[in-house]
């Protein structure tokens, strides 16, 4: 789905230049983040979207398709570790999607958060983002 979305976006003149700077990687996240941490060129931003836990406070009943997905995949037990790996691998910042009332990953307070009606994006700034040349 992501690859299809990027291909479609590349055909849109309004966003094609932006899409040209996005790289979709097919690899286990732990392996990729460990490789990035030791690389000379690191991604500017890493976005984590872990599965919301069963204890997501104030959450509505999960839709049936997501219930089935959670049953297949099982609990998200490595989200805290992924945050640590992402913080070591990113150059400028890490963004983490969370439930609006969920605790921060690894009990690590973000630099700031962007909160919507049902979600929150915890932002962990590491360095100033530079515009591409």
User: What pLDDT does residue 61 have?
Assistant: 60
d(CA 79, CA 92): 20
The fold of 27-125 is Rossmann fold (3.40.50)
Strand order in the sheet with 112-115: 45-48, 93-99, 119-125, 112-115
C-beta neighbour count of 29 within 10 angstroms: 16
**Domain ranges, ordered by start, for the chain:** 27-125
Q: Average per-residue pLDDT in the chain?
A: 88
Residue, of 121 and 130, whose pLDDT is higher? 121
Of 34, 30, 50, 35, nearest to 95 by C-alpha is 50
User: What pLDDT does residue 78 have?
Assistant: 87
pLDDT digits (tens, 9 = 90+) for 53-79: 655 554 556 677 767 766 776 667 889
Cβ atoms of 44 and 92 within 8 Å: the answer is yes
């Amino acid at each position: 789905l992501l690859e299809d979305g990027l291909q479609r976006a590349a055909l849109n003149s309004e966003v094609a230049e932006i899409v040209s700077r996005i790289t979709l990687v097919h690899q286990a996240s732990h392996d990729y983040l460990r490789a990035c941490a030791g690389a000379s060129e690191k991604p500017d931003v890493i976005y984590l979207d872990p599965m919301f836990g069963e204890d997501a406070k104030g959450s509505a009943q999960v839709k049936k398709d997501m219930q089935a997905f959670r049953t297949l995949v099982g609990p998200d037990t490595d989200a805290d570790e992924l945050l640590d790996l992402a913080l070591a691998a990113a150059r400028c910042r890490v963004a983490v999607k969370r439930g609006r009332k969920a605790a921060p990953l690894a009990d690590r307070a973000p630099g700031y958060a962007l909160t919507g009606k049902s979600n929150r994006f915890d932002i962990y700034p590491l360095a100033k983002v530079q515009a591409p040349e």
